[in-house]
Amino acid sequence: MDDIPAEDNYEYWYDQGLKFSDLEKLEDALSCFDKAIEIDEKRPDAWFSKGIVLRTLEKHKDAIECFDKTIERCDNAIGIDGNNVKAEAWISKAASLGEMHGIQFKPIPATIYPQKKYTAQFHSQGTQNMKKEYLRWLGVTQAQLDILYAIIECCDKAIEIDDQKLYAWTNKGNTLVLLRNHEEAIECFDNALKIDDRDKMSWWFKGYSLGQLLRIEEAKICISMAEKLPED
């Protein structure tokens, strides 16, 4: 491999792309990843790294295309852990889908708890029927609802490959919070905390979901744990 001129060397351009990424010279990084892909477009790592840069540049449609190409190429990958790259690509695709459609996951004030009647009544209706009242209750359109389910599907794909991926669980849990499916959201945050019990956002959102279910004392414990942890 050392005898291959730089202009024809996949590893050279891929490594250069990573260096420019670390220096936050993102356009230069993209150029390098593109050159690597021109040399060998069947390898997934340059596609994945290009997708990460495009996501950073908020070019989410193009990023998602790169993540899809990454996933397609991982099964026959040589010299890398294809399963790990594929799982990360599914997670990154989920994140880009959310960001492209303005879906944000932010800490919610721990003092906001709903009426029990409100939660039970609408949650039981909503999970059984995609009716207008369910969309109105969630505050989303059908198109936005489809995106939320697409995000969950991406997270599930990652979890099928590797159930130790923290962000697969947290992204799925956060999306379930938006869908007001708090029981399943709590399960996701529990799995995330088994991987990293210092994940601040998992404690926050678990506390919020517990509060929505009127499990107030448990919610307070989770919020207290989150408050003790430093910001990322």
My answer on whether 122 and 200 are in the same domain is yes
pLDDT at 171: 95
Do 95 and 55 touch, CB atoms closer than 8 A? Answer: yes
pLDDT at 220 over 70: yes
Looking at the structure of the chain, the number of domains it has is: 2
Q: Find the mean pLDDT for residues 11-32.
A: 96
Residue that is last in its domain, among 75, 100, 125: 100
pLDDT tier for residue 3 given thresholds of 50, 70 and 90? low
pLDDT at 131: 61
pLDDT at 226 over 50: yes
My answer on whether 133 and 47 are in the same domain is no
My answer on whether 81 and 146 are in the same domain is no
Q: Identify the residue with better confidence: 121 or 184.
A: 184
Distance in angstroms (rounded) separating the CA atoms of residues 3 and 113 = 66
- The CATH number for 173's domain is 1.25.40.10
pLDDT at 7 over 70: yes
pLDDT at 110 over 50: no
For the chain, how far is it from start to end, CA to CA, in angstroms? 40
pLDDT at 4: 55
My answer on whether 95 and 60 are in the same domain is yes
pLDDT at 232: 66
Question: Of 134-138, 153-157, 174-178, 225-229, which gets the smallest average pLDDT?
Answer: 134-138
My answer on whether 90 and 115 are in the same domain is no
Per DSSP, the residues of 91-147 read HHHHHHHHHHTT-------TT----HHHHHHHHHHHTT---HHHHHHHT--HHHHHH
My answer on whether 131 and 210 are in the same domain is yes
Distance in angstroms (rounded) separating the CA atoms of residues 136 and 176 = 16
Q: Identify the residue with better confidence: 131 or 210.
A: 210
My answer on whether 14 and 81 are in the same domain is yes
Residue that is last in its domain, among 52, 68, 100: 100
My answer on whether 83 and 153 are in the same domain is no
pLDDT at 107: 52
My answer on whether 66 and 112 are in the same domain is no
My answer on whether 142 and 229 are in the same domain is yes
- List CB contacts of 91: < 8 A, sequence separation 6 or more: 154, 155, 158, 165, 167, 168, 171
My answer on whether 113 and 80 are in the same domain is no
High-pLDDT (> 90) share of the chain, %:
71
Distance in angstroms (rounded) separating the CA atoms of residues 210 and 179 = 15
- Domain holding 119, by residue range, is 106-232
Question: Of 29-43, 131-145, 212-226, which gets the smallest average pLDDT?
Answer: 131-145
pLDDT tier for residue 76 given thresholds of 50, 70 and 90? confident
How many CA within 13 A on the CB side of residue 116? 3
Mean pLDDT for the chain overall: 86
My answer on whether 51 and 151 are in the same domain is no
Residue that is last in its domain, among 76, 100, 124: 100
Question: Of 13-27, 79-93, 109-123, 202-216, which gets the smallest average pLDDT?
Answer: 109-123
pLDDT at 212 over 80: yes
Q: Find the mean pLDDT for residues 97-122.
A: 58
pLDDT at 109: 47
